[in-house]
Amino acid sequence: GESVGLHLPTLSVQEGDNSIINCAYSNSASDYFIWYKQESGKGPQFIIDIRSNMDKRQGQRVTVLLNKTVKHLSLQIAATQPGDSAVYFCAENHPLTGGGNKLTFGTGTQLKVEL
Amino acid sequence: EAQVTQNPRYLITVTGKKLTVTCSQNMNHEYMSWYRQDPGLGLRQIYYSMNVEVTDKGDVPEGYKVSRKEKRNFPLILESPSPNQTSLYFCASSLSPTGLDEQYFGPGTRLTVT
């Protein structure tokens, strides 16, 4: 899951297995969620997003699940490959009173794919 | 190639010496934003812009300035850098003026202020 500490939680998986990365969000009014992948030395890369009127969305090899009841978001990666090794973090958006939006980013989970 | 570029990629400077980090996107995006990334804190938004000549403060704007004179460019200015601004900086852009769609990030600028 997400961490506010200095050391990122790590998920180690075998190549070919499925990976599940979790994220707990804080604001029940959040209406839009995004998963990003960040490889070492690079900028974040958009993976998939989901709006709060959905509970599941699928992309290529990735699925995002949203459970608004417990404020939980997960990213599932099918058939994990070495190229999936990276830090994954979620972001939540909630509308602000008076207009505008606030996007809050999690600190991330390190995914390590073992051969 | 659609991309966000930042320059410089690495910068070491001294306290108080004004610097500018440039950001440019070639996707005709409306929204641009600057973030800083520090260990254990995640990305934090510094400033954002929803259109030319429109800029707004993010979560951590103190010590920074921005401008949006052209759609493609969104420079970040540190008038008097201090050591607590040592960080990894990312510029991002998105098509939607709200920023609530796929954001494209630049490669990052690692700044060290001594």
Cβ atoms within 10 Å of A115's Cβ, excluding its own: 6
Give residue A7's pLDDT: 63
Residues 35-74 of A with CB under 8 A from B: 41-46, 49
B108: alpha, beta or left? (left if phi > 0; alpha if psi -120 to 50) = left
* pLDDT tens column, A57-113: 999 999 999 999 999 999 999 999 999 999 999 999 888 777 777 888 998 999 999
First to last CA, chain B: 36
Q: Is A83 helix (H, G, I), strand (E, B) or coil?
A: helix
**CB B100 to CB A44 under 8 A?**
no
With 50 as the cut, is the pLDDT of residue A2 above it? no
* pLDDT tens column, B31-71: 999 999 998 888 999 999 999 999 999 999 999 999 999 99
Read out DSSP for B86-112?
-EEEEEEEESSTT--SPPEE---EEEE
Is any Cβ of chain B less than 8 angstroms from the Cβ of A96?
Answer: no
Chain A residues closer than 8 Å to B44 by CB: 105
Chain B residues closer than 8 Å to A43 by CB: 4, 90, 92, 105-108
